[in-house]
Structures are given as structure tokens and as C-alpha cells.
Structure 1
Amino acid sequence: MSNPLYISQLAFTTGEVSPDVSSRFDLEQYKSALLESENVVIRPYGAVAKRQGSQYVGQVKYSDKPTRLFEFTTNTNNSFMLEFGDKYIRVWNYGIYTGIEITTPFTSDILFDLNCNQSGDVMFICSGKYPIQTLSRYSDTDWRMSTYKLTEQPYDEINTDNGHTLTVNGDTITSTKDLFTQDMVGSVIQIAYYVEAVHTKSVGEVVEKKVKRYMQAQTIEKTYNNINYNVGAFSTDTELSWKFTTHGTWEGTVKLQISNNDGQTWKDYRTYTSKNDYNVTDTGKIESGARLKYVSDIKSGSVNCDLSIMPFTQYGIVEIKSVTDAKNAKVNVLNGIKEGEPSYQWKLGSWNRGRGYPKLCTFYQDRFVVAATDSKPNFIWFSRTGDYPNFGVEKVEGTITDDSAITLPVINRKMCEIRHLVPANDLIILTSGNEWIVRGDKTITPTNCNLKTQTQRGALSCEPQFIGNRCVFVQERGGTVRDMGYSYESDNYTGQDLTLFVKTLVKGHLAVTSAYAQDPDSIIYYVRDDGQLNCLTYIPEQKVYGWSHFVTNGKYRYVESVAEGEQDTIYFVVDRVINNKSVKCIERSIPLYTEDNSDVFLDCYVKVANSIKTDYINAPHLVGQMVDIVIDGQQMPSRVVPPTGVIKLDGKANVITVGLPYTTKIKIPNVEQQINDGTLQGRVATVSRVVLRMYKSFGGKVGRTFDRMDDITLPPNELFTGDKPVILPKMGINYSTDTSICIKHSDPFPFNLLSITRIVEIGGGLRDVPGL
């Protein structure tokens, strides 16, 4: 038998790998892999550590209905956690329910369809079923929910059936063909009317010198203000063309004046002067709502003035308030209607109860961007620049202005549904079948807003995370997690499969929701449909893509990351069975490994810290459960919580913690090392000892299998840092080709493994294995 080999695994940043790649010793990632990583996190610098416990902060309002969590960020980095349930929102702050509850229209069946984005102290909420809602925070105790009021919404294509006209009389709109349904209540219709040219003329003349002074004092004034040309905020043609001419031989001045406040005040707009040698022919455009008039001061001669407003299209808007039948409806007239005049040029609003409302929203280049309705799942709408509620279009001299709203269909063969909008340098658009961008290197305008396809993967409805300069999303098929980012080499977005080595964590399951905690370890959390929580430590610049998973005495149903001060706190919704009753608990996990060693490694725990010692703790949420108890840092015998929910202690203590225990399992793969006569693979060997390099750890067991293990003996009553040699328990078969090592930890204390060194003794061959 040769001298033993000392073979070290110095890092665990690959995390858990699937059995089908467990023998890929040729891969660089194998050097830092694990075969199992249950209830641990992969630290960015290489360690594998027991996961943090979760503090019980309360139960959801309705445990028999779905619940969802959202972060609401304030400008003081003091974020709130919002509990969304069946027609309500409850506000939490630092794990404490504030007592604030807001009524919402959102029923439990659409909670997982909600998409929220925040701008300042206003959260915009899209559901697809209801108009866009806003949750506004006026103060920490004043929150208000309301429907987002649009000044103008987008419209569908204009009607092309000349025989299908709409006519408005009073509050009734009539259609010549069947049009109206009950689902149209609340929607709007834009109706276009042709307005002929309007003219006004006057004659000004001085015939006798003796009356010249009188005529000067009585300045002739003709005002074109008998028609209101204000076509309103809903107009898609915001300018009116005018023409002004004079005829005659005259000396004096003629002025055009303009008013932008309905004729209350006027200011000079154009001035024309003649000394019996000039007549005017002038044209221009004025904004809708403006009024023109002309005034003349004629000293001699005569002048004929002609002011005309050229033919134009006037746009009116009505809102349907009730439907009488398929041809008649009651309306609120919002603007610009010409009563009794039929028009075939009309457009239906793009969003209503029947057609659906936007399902997604975000902000990009100072525009409010929404997307995907039931009737138009592949459409994106951009508001006007800096005018978020306005999805209207403005024209100047027949050309659409750069700040006008934009309607952008994502056209592809399969008409894939838009699933996510991710604002970055470019606007990333993830659909059910492919990925697109709207380039952001230039300001987007109606004439410069082009889609460019990037990859053909498709995204699941689980939220993507934008980290650094890369978008991480769950692929539509197979539960694969991918990232994508811009590549200068290909001038395109590229990425990789982040679950290539760990398909057992995602195969056959869907990711329901995700959350990202940047501090302390840059971890993405994915709740699986069976209640398991998968975790990805993601630091692409260091090529760290380390997977692990959490299990608990229950099922994880939702996860959210909330910034609290300088840290990211993770909140969970967990299904648990307590006292033979199903409940949904809200639990809070603070960052790992605080400097004062006050971390708690129990689930659903409660903790009291008193300056005066006490001999009991209340845990009514754990009635009937076997719990672990830690008193002033010392573990006490486990016990069942009595029906009263009050646990009486044998002695008094300042700090008492009670919660559900969980077990950490780590399995380290076979060793590989090139030796003089080849490789270790295929050789029988035994691992008699290991050296665990640990950091602030206490407790644990180690062995060749999880079934047979010995305690890791550490100094009592303190956390150990350093190298700990451990002799492995003997088994019936000590020589094998399997040199993997198992570690298990069930104590309510931290466990940090920095590295492991195996002392490997190589046997003579397979004949050294009993039974072969």
C-alpha cells in the first residue's frame, strides 16, 4: 500500500451538481462541486455555509387563499413589505405589521398575474383584468389605491366600413351596425369629423379726410372667435391651419392677434403694414384651442380682410357608461363631439374589459411603458415623453412629433405573448418564445423605435432578475435558468444555461417566483412548484454560479427581497401544518452571520431578548410542534409546544429562542488526482481521515454516508474557527471506488466549511474490495 495522499477541495462555488455530471473530473467546475447541498448557501468566496433560519412575523389574512409579497421602496432605503391577498394589501415594516390595510380589486385568482413597478412613492399595478391601478404612499400611515387616470389611451385601427357610422345625440351614441357589448362599459371611442373651411371678411375704408380722425379712433375689429377650435387633450391633430389675405389700396396697419385662454387676453401674433404698396397673403398653424382675430388701423384708402381656418379634422371622445343594446349605448361626452353628425371614421380604445388591460408595465427613457393585453398579447405601448398618463399622438405640419406615444407590435410567426419588460441600457423584452430588445443608444421616437430579436428561448412567467448588466430569467421549457447580456464580439445579446450541471433541481418542476438579495452573497431565490426553494449564488464576473436548495417543515410558496437599511432581508410565505391546521406563515430571514454571532438557525422561530431574565416564552403559532430551544446561547432539550402556546423553562434567561429545527446536508464528490501511473479513477481506496477547515462553527457530523456518521467534536460553548481533523467511522467495506464524504448538521448553530482535505489510502486494486 502506497503512502496516503492528502487531497484538498478548497472551494464549493460550483454548488450542487446532478448525478449525470458527477464523474466529469475533466471539468474545471468539478473542483468546487457538491453532490448535495441541502439547507446551505454557497458563499461567493468559496465556503459552503448552513442557511439562516426564518423568524415568524405573522400569518397572512387568509390561509386558505394565495398570497403574494412585494417590496415598496422609499427614498430613505426604508422599504416596506406589502402582503397582497384576496382584495386587500397589508403593509409590513421590518417584520412588524403596521395595522394598515388597503382595499383592492384584485381577487386571489389573479394575484400571481400582477406586475408592479414603482416611480417615486407611487406603485403602478397591472393585472390584465382591471385598469391600471396605483398605490400611492402619502406618508408611512397614509396609503391610497386608485385607478390610474389616463388623459388619453391608445386606439385600435380606424374603422374602414363606410356604411358603419356612429352618431352622438346628447348622452346617447347610436351605431348603424351591431357594435356594443357589456364588456365595453368604461371604454372610450374616438370619432373623427370633417370640418369645412370657415371664413370671415370685413371692409375698412376712409373716404373723406374730415372723418379720418374718427375712423382712426374707431379701429375696425373682426374677431374669429365664434367657434371653439379646442379639440381637447384627446385630439390626434393638435394644429389648425389658417390663411390671411388683404385686398385694396391702403395705408395703415393690420394685425393678427392670438389668444390661448379662450379670448380672455390677446397678444400680437403677426403685424402687416402698407403705404398704398402692399397686400397680405400669409399662412400658418396654431395649436388647438387657440383663437385668432384681426384688428386694423387704416389711415387712408380701403382694405378687404379675409381670415380663414382651413378644413381640418376634429376629434371627439366619448366614454361608454352603459350599454342599452348592440346598437345603442349611454356615454359621457369627453370632448369635441358634433352632435347629430354621423361619422364612419372612428376608433375603439385598445383597453377595456372585453379586450383586456395591460398585464405589464415599466419605465424607460422617461416613458411609461405597458404591454400585453388579452386581445393584443404581443403589443407594447409607450406613453408620451414625460407625460405618463398620455398615450396620444401629436402632429406638427402633418408629422408626428418625437415625444408622441408609440404603439409597437412584436411581430413573429408564433405571435408569442410578451412575458416581461426589463429596462436596462436597452429595453429587454422577454416573450413566451423569444427575446427582443429596443435599442437605447439613441432616444426612442415614433420613427426610431425598432425591435431586434436576440435569442430564441422563451421565458416563463417567473420574474426575471437584472443583476449588474445581465438579465437572468427562467426558460419557458424545462425550468432552465439562463442569463443574457450584451456581447461586443457578436454585437448581440448572448448568455448561458446556468442549470447545465444541476438539472435535477429544475427538471419536472416550474419556478413559481423569484427574488434577488444582493447583500451579503448575491443570491437569487427560486420557489419551486412543489414547495422547495432553489438558490443560485450569482457573480458572473467571478464565474460563480453555485446552486443549493432549501427544505423546511412545510412548503415555500413565495419569496421576496426587501431592502432594510444596509441589508437585503428575505421574506417567505410558507405553508405549514400547525396543530393539525394548515396555515400560511410570513417569515423573515435576516442576512447571514452577523458580527455579534446572534444568528438563529431555526425556522418559524420567535425570540425574546430581555434585560430582566424570564422563565417562559410564548409560541402559540407552534402549538403541537416539536421545537428546539436555545437559552442564552445554550441548546436545551427539545419539547412539544403545549396547547396554551406558553413554554415554561427550567430556569430564567435573558435571550430565549424557540423554533423548528432543520438539517443541513452536504455531500462532497469523489476525489481525483493525477498520479505517477495514471489516475485515481477505477482504483479502490479508503478515506480514513478528513481535515475540515471551519469558520465560526459548532456541531455537526461527518461520515462516508448519511446513515453512518460520527460527531465533529469541537470545544464546548464556543464557535470554532480553524482546522479540525476527524477520523471517519469504520464501515463493513472500507475500500471502495467511492471517496465521497457526507456532512450533516442539525444543531441550531452556525456551520461554515471553508475547505476539506481527505487523507486517501490507495488499495491494490478491485480485489481489495470484499465480495469482488
Structure 2
Amino acid sequence: MQPMYIGQVAFTTGEVSPDVSSRFDLEQYKSALLLAENAVIRPYGAVARRQGSQFIGYAKHNDKPVRLFEFTTNKNQSFMLEFGDRYVRVWRNGVYTNVEVATPFEADIVGELNCIQSGDVMFICSGKYPIQTLSRYSDTDWRMSAYKLTEQPYDDINTDNGHTLTVSGDTITSTKDLFTSDMVGSVIQIAYYVEAVHTKSVGEVLEKKVRRNYFAGQDTEKTYNNINYNVGAFSTDTELSWKFTTHGTWEGTVKLQISNNDGQTWKDYRTYTSKNDYNVTDTGKIEAGARLKYISDIKGGSVNCDLSIMPFTQYGIVEIKSVTDAKSAKVNVLNGIKEGEPSYQWKLGSWNRGRGYPKLCTFYQDRFVVAATDSKPNFIWFSRTGDYPNFGVEKAGGTITDDSAITLPVINRKMYEIRHLVPANDLIVLTSGNEWIVDGSKTITPTNCYLKTQTQRGALKCEPQFIGNRCVFVQERGGTVRDMGYSYESDNYTGQDLTLFVKTLVKGHVAVTSAYAQDPDSIIYYVRDDGQLNCLTYIPEQKVYGWSHFVTNGKYRYVESVAEGEQDTIYFVVDRVINNKNVKCIERSIPLYTEDNSDVFLDCYVKVANSIKTDYINAPHLVGQMVDIVVDGQQMPSRVVPPTGVIKLDGKANVITVGLPYTTKIKIPSVEQQINDGTLQCRLVTITRVALRLYRSYGGSVGRTFEDADDLIMKPKSLFTGDTAIVLPKIATSVNTNTEICIKHSKPFPFNLLAVTREVEIGGGFPNVHGM
């Protein structure tokens, strides 16, 4: 039979598990790989050798965890932040800026930090400490501080009438055990009933102003006493009702005046006139904190004035500064306490050292949103609209205002912990057991804030990524990566298992952290708990879900994507053993471009590029390691870096690169072709030749296995584009059922595989059946 030529022109499915390696009935089989190690899946179908990583420095501590975060300014200047044991260091464009700021975060919680940026301020939630902010005042001036809240959220009001609190001076006492040392720094809101406030005048002259009255000669202008009551800025009653009446027979003018700055200035509020024929009965409302008074200018007769403030509730707030015992504590009075008066209407602040602080934060519909404390793992708190530090509730006319803060519990049959908040058109809420949304079709208010359950999967703590209009997250159990997005057909959020065909990459392991690089290949990076890096090329509109993975001479620990200019740069924290010492390297990988020769295919590399030639390079971070060396684009023999860290060359060069080698392995599944008498599956076949279509590549070897792969023949000192074929050696077992092809590449040069074609000869039917 004449040989057949069977090609594979795309690899966008990426790696698949052995479980599905024979599912040639699947559409994804046509673009699948059995292995893509140290490779990336390109969006248009190619599979390429991954880019190397540049050594830029060590973490501050080699024996403690490190976490990376991106910080982008409004001038498109990006920084990479290194959070470690009670510190944060600032890096920019791969260079440490020598800026270090102290933080409260110990090493054991840096991996739990959750951040959101607004302008030049990063908000940081840890669960253990109050919300912190990292503010950038300049490139060299960064400051960490506790986020100062103007009002905190509170728990439900006390319902035990026999449990009262009384404040006297700086001491608060409780009729029952209440206070613990963990409450230091927390706040308590206490409500007091305030009876109506009245003031009356009976004609007493407080001051006299003499003026000329052309009709009656000389008269006296009288200014009467005034009500001057400040209800306090922390009252939830934003409007207080007042009533004003006059009595008597009088001619002249009476005015109500209002002050909104504690009586410093006054302006006319209402004006009333009478010519011995009118008395005032008027009502209205003023905002909390305002002051009212009345004055009169009487030409004749006598007038009596009554001004009243209707009954209202005054809310006082105290902050605990120390605890004496279970029934007594020292406090700072923040507002509105009625000295010595007991009250059973009190609320404890929702956040403190004992109850925990928020673990998550984001912004949504111009509100600062936080969630999940130790005591309330299923609660979400929304700040007031446009007033991020204010989690207070206000009322107008007895009704809670639309811009008031909101407390929203996620009610489950099981108390699932909220793991992530993802702002989109809706606010996506991922918990440890299911997925919800806060409906964003209308502006959320205290009376219009609804949770809707979507799916029942559960999310791991590994960060989700929001790409386009879809949320990609790691499932709580099994390590499965899923996406979810709104479906018009079902009017619900739905998604798919993105690891369905590649369970071997996730089974038995946990994703620790993730990052997304949009440019140039739209790749999500997942650091696995064993130090492997899994990569997903994700372009859902083109149905591209291509998996690969990275390994290195060490273990990946964290990954972050930082927008630098027109590109997304990937930063890694890598644990390595160098010169018999454990070190924590910070490394940087720029995007993989194939149009020039700037790409580097070595790990932990250093590079010098000078207009004046030199014959050495410093690599002290690689002492004792076998390294590859590239000099002006040509590979030199590998060497062990000496104790001095200086590698001397045989000649001088302009560009010298030194780093750790790594091997790219690509395995292409068996061919499938429908023929006259059926299928090629399980048939005796032989692969005689293989043709590769390459783009700007140099090096590589091809074989039936990685062990027997033969090198591709290429011209030195140039990258090859085009088709190249290799004849596979004839061996005794060359006629079998396996038509897989293995490609290996270990040189510090690019390798971009666009397509592969196999020359296949059919040798007959089934092989001998074992046991017959």
C-alpha cells in the first residue's frame, strides 16, 4: 500500500491525559498533545518553547514565604510589590528601587493577603489586622497605615432588656459579662432616647438696637433667646423635626436662622411678618448637626415664641482602649454619650481582634466592599455610596437612605466561607461550596440588594481571573479549573470544566496562586503546590483552551503579571538550591516574541549587552551550577560557575547570556485516518518519516521516544523557517500500533512548531494477541 501523509496543523487543545489519548472521535483530538512540557500554546495554533526567566534579585528572606502584587499608577507606570515577613519592597521594570516599608503582616499570613487598588492607594485585607492601605506619594515615598473608618458596621442590636451599658467619664460598665481583651480597639454604639427639647420667650429683651422709625419715632429691635441643639454627627436620624409657634399681638418680623458649622455663622431659614393680625404655626425638618435659633424685630405689641425639637434617638459611640474585667472597660468617647444613663439598646462593632477583620475587598458600584471575617465568614459589607470609609446607616423621615451602608449575609444550609469577590456587571461571590451573584441590573441600595445562587461547585483560595466577560476559578475539590459567565439561554451563570481532558495536571495537587497575562498569548498561570507551573491559553471566543506546564531547576512558589509598557511581564518567586544553599529567587519573564532575537531560553539568567566588547560575565547567584552560555547569539560549551561567580570567556563579545538550561518536551498523539477498511487505531503501522513546519527555530530532535530522538539538521548561526524532514531509524519494533512522535529541545534557542506531518505505512491488521 502506498504511504499516507497525515498532518496535524494545530495544537490548541494542548496537553491531554492518557484517559482521553485514544478519543479520536473528539474534535479536540485533532489539536491535542500528549505532553507539552516547558512549552506554551500559541493562540493561532502553534506550540512553542517557553521563554526563559531573568534573575533580578533575591527575596529579603530565603526561608520565609513571599507574595507578589502588581501596582499600576494612573500614568501607566507599574511596580511589582514583594510582600514578606512584616515588610513590602518595591520593584520596577525588574529592578529593586531600594524602597522598603514596614507592614504588620507576618510571614504566615502573606499568602492570605487580598488587595484592591484605587488610584495610588492599595487596600489590603488580611483577616488578622484592620484594613490597611499602602499609599504611593512618589516613586520613592510609600506609606503603610491602617485605613481610618469614619463609621464601622455593627452587629444586631442587643435584645436582652436586663443587659445594659452605662458610660461615666472614661469608664463603661456592663450589667453582665461582656468585655474581653480581644475587644481593645473595637467600638460600641449605644442608643439613647432624647425627649422633646423646648425653648420659650416671654418678651425679655436680650439686646437692643436703636434705629429711626419714621412713623412711630424711635423703637427697639429685640433679639430673643434661641434653641441651640447639636444632635451629633453619628446619629442615624439624619433629619430632626421641629415646630415653631408665636403668641400675642405684634407688628414686625420674626426669623428662624440656621447654622451648619456649630454656630460660627448663621443664615436666614424662615421669615414671618405680622401687622397685629397673624401668629405662626410652622413645622419642618433639619439635618442632624444643624442648629436653629430665632430673632425678632418688633415695631409694636408683644410676641412670645416657642421652638421645639421633637423626640429622637441619639446614638453615642465609644472605643474600647483597655479592659478592666468582664464588666468594666476604659473607653474613648467618640460621640453623643448621655453621662451615667444606662441603655440596653447597644450594638457591638462587627470587626475586632477577637471576631476578626475582613479577609476580602473590592469596589462595586462606587462602594467599598469587604467580606468574610473569622466570626462571620459568610457576610459581605458595602460602604456608603461614594464614601468608602463609612459603613454607617442613615435615616431620613424614618426611612434608611439609598446611599446607606449595607450588610449582606450569604445564607446557606452550610456556612460556606466567602473566598472571592469578583466585580463585573454583577458582583460575583465565590464561596467554598457554591457561587452567587449580587444582582447589578439596578443600583444596589439597602432595599435593593439581592443575592442569587448560580452554581454549586465551590472555589479554592487560589485567585480567580476575570477575562473578557468570564470568571475563571479553581474548584475547591479536585483542583478542577472552571469558568463561568452569563448565559442568555438559561438566564443564569454557567460554565465548563477547563481541565476535563487534562486531569493529570491537577489531580492530587492544589493550585496555590495564579496570574493572567493578556499580551501576547492570553495565558493564565497556576503555581501548583509541588512547584510545577501549569499554563492555560484561554481564548473562549475562539474555543482555545490549551494546557501546558513548566518545570525548572527548582520550585515555582508565586507568580504575578505586571503590565510594563505595551506588554505583560510575568514575575516568579522560585525556590532554588544554589551552592548547597536554599535561596528564594525573584525572576522575570518577558513575553515570548518571535520577530527578533531578544528572547532568552535560559532560567535564572543574567545578560550583559555592551557596545564595548568584554570577555567575562558575573553570575554569583549561580555558583556551583552547570550553566549554558550564549555569546553574540552562539552557544558556547557549558560550564560550572566558579566560586568567584565570574565566568571568563575565551574571547570578547558584545552580548553575553548565562543561565540554567531546561528541556522542552512535546509529544504528539497517534495519527487517525479513516480508510477504506476502517480506522488506523490498533492497526500495525510504521512511521517512516516526519516533516516539521517550523518558524524562526534552531535546534531540536525528533523520534519515536525522547530517548531515541535524532537531531534536526540546521544551518548554524541562523534561525530556520520552513519545512524540515527527518527519517526515523528502522528498528525491529518499527511496525506496531504506536504512531506517537516525540520532540525534544534543550538548546538556549527558540523552537516554534506550526505543524507536523507523518509518513505512515500500514503493515496489516491487529498485532499478535497476548495470551493466545
TM-score between both structures, scaled by the size of structure 2: 0.97
State yes or no: 1:759 paired with 2:759. Answer: yes
Structure 2 counterpart of 1:274: 274
**Identity score, percent:** 85
Contact 1:571 1:587 in 2 (8 A): yes
State yes or no: 1:26 paired with 2:40. Answer: no
C-alpha distance in structure 1 between counterparts of 2:560 and 2:447, whole Å: 39
Structure 2 counterpart of 1:218: 221
Structure 1 counterpart of 2:314: 314
Letter in 2 for 1:222: N
State the secondary structure of the residue aligned to 1:83.
strand
C-alpha distance in structure 1 between counterparts of 2:404 and 2:112, whole Å: 29
State the secondary structure of the residue aligned to 1:496.
coil
- Which stretch of structure 1 is more off in the superposition, 151-160 or 278-287? 278-287
C-alpha distance in structure 2 between counterparts of 1:78 and 1:297, whole Å: 64
Structure 1 counterpart of 2:664: 664
Q: CA offset at residue 213 of structure 1?
A: 5.3
Output one character per residue of 1:284-303: Cα deviation in whole Å (capped at 9) or x when no partner.
11111111111223334433
Letter in 2 for 1:162: N
Contact 2:480 2:506 in 1 (8 A): yes
C-alpha distance in structure 2 between counterparts of 1:166 and 1:596, whole Å: 74
Contact 2:230 2:262 in 1 (8 A): no
Structure 1 counterpart of 2:210: none
Cα gap change, 1:239/1:739 in structure 2, threshold over 3 Å: closer, same or farther?
same
Letter in 1 for 2:92: N
Cα gap change, 1:767/1:450 in structure 2, threshold over 3 Å: closer, same or farther?
closer
Cα gap change, 1:539/1:216 in structure 2, threshold over 3 Å: closer, same or farther?
farther
C-alpha distance in structure 2 between counterparts of 1:771 and 1:474, whole Å: 45
State yes or no: 1:83 paired with 2:86. Answer: no
Structure 2 counterpart of 1:116: 115
What pairs with 1:324-339 in structure 2 (closer than 5 Å)? 324-339=324-339
C-alpha distance in structure 1 between counterparts of 2:663 and 2:681, whole Å: 32
Contact 2:594 2:696 in 1 (8 A): no
Letter in 1 for 2:176: K
State the secondary structure of the residue aligned to 1:765.
coil
Output one character per residue of 1:78-111: Cα deviation in whole Å (capped at 9) or x when no partner.
2100110000001101111111110000000001
Structure 1 counterpart of 2:626: 626
What pairs with 1:362-511 in structure 2 (closer than 5 Å)? 362-511=362-511
Cα gap change, 1:771/1:45 in structure 2, threshold over 3 Å: closer, same or farther?
farther
Q: Which consecutive residues of structure 2, in runs of 5 or more, have no partner in the other structure?
A: 206-212
What pairs with 1:214-253 in structure 2 (closer than 5 Å)? 216-225=219-228, 228-232=229-233, 234-253=234-253
- Which stretch of structure 1 is more off in the superposition, 351-360 or 172-181? 172-181
- Which stretch of structure 1 is more off in the superposition, 439-448 or 248-257? 248-257
Contact 1:257 1:268 in 2 (8 A): yes
- Which stretch of structure 1 is more off in the superposition, 440-449 or 571-580? 440-449
Structure 1 counterpart of 2:716: 716
- Which stretch of structure 1 is more off in the superposition, 265-274 or 343-352? 265-274
State yes or no: 1:59 paired with 2:58. Answer: yes
Contact 2:525 2:534 in 1 (8 A): yes
Structure 2 counterpart of 1:254: 254
State the secondary structure of the residue aligned to 1:521.
coil
- Which stretch of structure 1 is more off in the superposition, 74-83 or 126-135? 74-83
C-alpha distance in structure 2 between counterparts of 1:89 and 1:260, whole Å: 43
Output one character per residue of 1:641-677: Cα deviation in whole Å (capped at 9) or x when no partner.
1111111111111111111000000000011111122
Q: CA offset at residue 250 of structure 1?
A: 3.3
Contact 2:736 2:767 in 1 (8 A): no
Equivalent pairs, count: 765
Letter in 2 for 1:30: Y
C-alpha distance in structure 1 between counterparts of 2:312 and 2:203, whole Å: 29
Q: CA offset at residue 194 of structure 1?
A: 1.1
State the secondary structure of the residue aligned to 2:224.
strand
Q: CA offset at residue 770 of structure 1?
A: 12
Letter in 2 for 1:503: K
C-alpha distance in structure 1 between counterparts of 2:502 and 2:287, whole Å: 63
State the secondary structure of the residue aligned to 1:674.
coil
C-alpha distance in structure 2 between counterparts of 1:466 and 1:752, whole Å: 29
State yes or no: 1:9 paired with 2:12. Answer: no
C-alpha distance in structure 1 between counterparts of 2:764 and 2:476, whole Å: 51
State yes or no: 1:678 paired with 2:654. Answer: no
State the secondary structure of the residue aligned to 1:351.
coil
Contact 2:41 2:47 in 1 (8 A): yes
State the secondary structure of the residue aligned to 1:449.
coil
C-alpha distance in structure 2 between counterparts of 1:313 and 1:214, whole Å: 50
Contact 2:116 2:123 in 1 (8 A): yes
Cα gap change, 1:535/1:767 in structure 2, threshold over 3 Å: closer, same or farther?
closer
Cα gap change, 1:695/1:305 in structure 2, threshold over 3 Å: closer, same or farther?
same
Structure 2 counterpart of 1:297: 297
C-alpha distance in structure 2 between counterparts of 1:669 and 1:594, whole Å: 26
C-alpha distance in structure 1 between counterparts of 2:460 and 2:223, whole Å: 72
Letter in 2 for 1:229: N
Structure 2 counterpart of 1:743: 743
State the secondary structure of the residue aligned to 1:222.
coil
Contact 2:221 2:299 in 1 (8 A): no
Cα gap change, 1:159/1:769 in structure 2, threshold over 3 Å: closer, same or farther?
closer
Q: CA offset at residue 590 of structure 1?
A: 0.7
Letter in 1 for 2:220: A
Letter in 1 for 2:196: A
Q: CA offset at residue 420 of structure 1?
A: 0.4
C-alpha distance in structure 2 between counterparts of 1:612 and 1:127, whole Å: 50
C-alpha distance in structure 2 between counterparts of 1:512 and 1:310, whole Å: 59
Q: CA offset at residue 215 of structure 1?
A: 8.4
Letter in 2 for 1:683: R
C-alpha distance in structure 1 between counterparts of 2:770 and 2:263, whole Å: 106
C-alpha distance in structure 2 between counterparts of 1:625 and 1:246, whole Å: 96
Letter in 1 for 2:152: Q
Contact 1:684 1:768 in 2 (8 A): no
Structure 1 counterpart of 2:175: 176
Letter in 1 for 2:238: T
C-alpha distance in structure 1 between counterparts of 2:143 and 2:44, whole Å: 44
Q: CA offset at residue 201 of structure 1?
A: 1.2
Letter in 1 for 2:9: L
Contact 1:204 1:220 in 2 (8 A): no
Contact 2:220 2:299 in 1 (8 A): no
Q: CA offset at residue 401 of structure 1?
A: 0.9
C-alpha distance in structure 2 between counterparts of 1:184 and 1:482, whole Å: 41
C-alpha distance in structure 1 between counterparts of 2:260 and 2:75, whole Å: 42
- Which stretch of structure 1 is more off in the superposition, 68-77 or 114-123? 68-77
Q: CA offset at residue 212 of structure 1?
A: 9.8
Contact 1:607 1:656 in 2 (8 A): yes
Cα gap change, 1:42/1:205 in structure 2, threshold over 3 Å: closer, same or farther?
closer
C-alpha distance in structure 2 between counterparts of 1:49 and 1:487, whole Å: 34
Contact 1:685 1:737 in 2 (8 A): yes
Output one character per residue of 1:378-414: Cα deviation in whole Å (capped at 9) or x when no partner.
1111111111101111111111111111111111111
Structure 2 counterpart of 1:538: 538
What pairs with 1:521-600 in structure 2 (closer than 5 Å)? 521-600=521-600
Letter in 2 for 1:703: G
C-alpha distance in structure 1 between counterparts of 2:687 and 2:237, whole Å: 83
Output one character per residue of 1:240-293: Cα deviation in whole Å (capped at 9) or x when no partner.
211112233333322211111122221111122333433322211111111111
What pairs with 1:186-201 in structure 2 (closer than 5 Å)? 186-201=185-200
Cα gap change, 1:594/1:544 in structure 2, threshold over 3 Å: closer, same or farther?
same
- Which stretch of structure 1 is more off in the superposition, 723-732 or 581-590? 723-732
C-alpha distance in structure 1 between counterparts of 2:330 and 2:63, whole Å: 41
Contact 1:251 1:300 in 2 (8 A): yes
- Which stretch of structure 1 is more off in the superposition, 411-420 or 542-551? 411-420
C-alpha distance in structure 1 between counterparts of 2:640 and 2:688, whole Å: 39
Letter in 1 for 2:479: G
C-alpha distance in structure 1 between counterparts of 2:767 and 2:697, whole Å: 40
Q: Which consecutive residues of structure 1, in runs of 5 or more, have no partner in the other structure?
A: none
Contact 1:51 1:601 in 2 (8 A): yes
Output one character per residue of 1:521-561: Cα deviation in whole Å (capped at 9) or x when no partner.
00000000000000000000000000000000110000000
- Which stretch of structure 1 is more off in the superposition, 332-341 or 370-379? 332-341
